Amino acid sequence: MREIPYETVVETVKQMCMEANYEMGPDMYAALRTALEREESPQGKAVLEQIIENAEIAKTERVPICQDTGVAVFFVEVGEDVKIVGGSLKDAIYEGVRKGYQEGYLRKSMVQDPLRRVNTGDNTPPIIHFDLVPGDKLRLLFAAKGGGSENMSVARLFAPAAGKEGIKKFVLEVVEKAGGNPCPPIVIGVGIGGNFEMSAILAKKALFRPIGSRHPDPFYAQMEEEILEEVNKLGIGPMGMGGRVTAFDVHIEVMPCHIASLPVAVNIQCHANRHVEREL
């Protein structure tokens, strides 16, 4: 059994929270530059230029790209032959979030109770999806998920007859209704299959894929491309003020499901697409 000290996990999570919030990934920089070349709307171009300049400032000055530094979302793959010593893995992640958000001057956006709404003061609790996998590694995926784009996300349970066309129509409806609210250009995560909750988790996980990556199954890879093309015909454009670039990409994740069901979830990600990955 391989051992990882509690403190190592705390420190790693802390660094992940800060890095994701200060620095855009290389795929996002490339996507923004491509979008700027493709965008025809002068208003849209001006928005994209501001987004790029903002990312440069954030990176250089080590300040958050966006003041909404998000809910701390984790996908954690725990190897069956790895053990955290000196404390629990869950506590270590909580502690890392607490430290990252406090020491990194990140905004604390979590309220303790959904209706009574008092801020927890340290951005905990994070939302953690654990998975047990073979091996002796610990893999951590972190996203700082903003509220504006999350609010535009939708899950629906279709009858199987809805098929591929029904899903495409649904995604377009969700994106069109969202308009400028989720800070387009967006990334669209689509979870298909599983059950009610799993479709949403799949949609979230899809957002972690790099911009430009395609589903390994050619059927879904093509579906991703088709949806992206249709979405960019909607004319919503950067910040919703009209334009050619409404989405950077569409990522689909799928899972087996019940004979009666076709669960579909659409998770929207803003242009401040902030996620990082570490393996211990």
Partner 1 sequence: MKEYKRITTPLTEDVIADLRIGDRVLISGVLYTARDAAHKRLVELIEQGKPLPIDLQGQIIYYVGPAPAKPGQVIGSAGPTTSYRMDPYTIPLLKLGLKGMIGKGNRSPEIRKACQVYKAVYFEAVGGAGALLAKRIVSVEIVAYEDLGPEAIRRLEVKDFPVIVANDIYGGDIFEEGVRKYRLTGTG
**Number of helices (H) and strands (E), helices first, in the chain?**
8, 10
Residue pair 236/175 in contact (Cβ under 8 Å)? The answer is yes
Q: Kindly state the smallest distance separating residue 42's Cβ from partner 1, in Å.
A: 7
Q: Which helix H or strand E contains 92, and what residues bound it?
A: helix 89-103
Residue of 14, 16, 19, 68 that binds partner 1 (CB under 8 A): 68
* Residue of 30, 36, 63, 155 interacting with partner 1 (CB under 8 A): 63
How many residues bind partner 1 (CB under 8 A)? The answer is: 56
Enter the tokens of residue 77.
């793959």
Structure tokens at 208: 């972690």
Q: Which of 105, 130, 196, 219 binds partner 1 (CB under 8 A)?
A: 105
166 near partner 1 (CB under 8 A): no
- In the complex, the smallest distance separating the C-beta of residue 254 from partner 1, rounded to whole angstroms, is 23
d(CA 135, CA 77): 10
- Alpha helices (runs of H) in 134-242, residue ranges in sequence order: 147-150, 163-178, 196-206, 218-231
Give the residue, chosen from 8, 34, 181, 261, that forms a contact with partner 1 under the rule CB under 8 A: 181
Which region, judged by CB under 8 A, interacts with partner 1, from 137-145, 190-198, 216-224, 265-273? Answer: 265-273
The answer to the question of residue 163 lying near partner 1 (CB under 8 A) is no
Sole window of 79-87, 175-183, 202-210, 248-256 interacting with partner 1 (rule: CB under 8 A): 175-183
Residue 34: what are its φ and ψ, rounded to 5°? -65, -40
Find the helix packing angle between 89-103 and 6-22, rounded to 10°.
Answer: 40
The CA R_g of the chain, rounded to the nearest whole Å, is 19
* CA separation for the pair 234, 254 (Å, rounded): 25
Q: Would you say 59 or 137 has its CB closer to partner 1?
A: 59
Tokens for 207, please give them. 């957002």
In the complex, the smallest distance separating the C-beta of residue 161 from partner 1, rounded to whole angstroms, is 19
Residues 6+ apart with CB under 8 A from 160: 259, 260, 261, 262
131 lines the binding site for partner 1 (CB under 8 A): no
- Does the protein bind partner 1 through residue 199 (CB under 8 A)? no
What is the amino acid identity at position 133?
V
Tell the smallest beta-carbon distance from residue 138 to partner 1 (Å): 29
Q: Which stretch binds partner 1 (CB under 8 A): 41-49, 74-82, 203-211, 256-264?
A: 41-49
Question: Does residue 176 touch partner 1 according to CB under 8 A?
Answer: yes
Binding site for partner 1 (CB under 8 A): 40-43, 46-47, 50-51, 53-55, 57-58, 61-69, 105-109, 117, 119, 121, 147-148, 151, 169, 172-173, 176, 179-181, 183, 230, 233-237, 239-244, 270-272
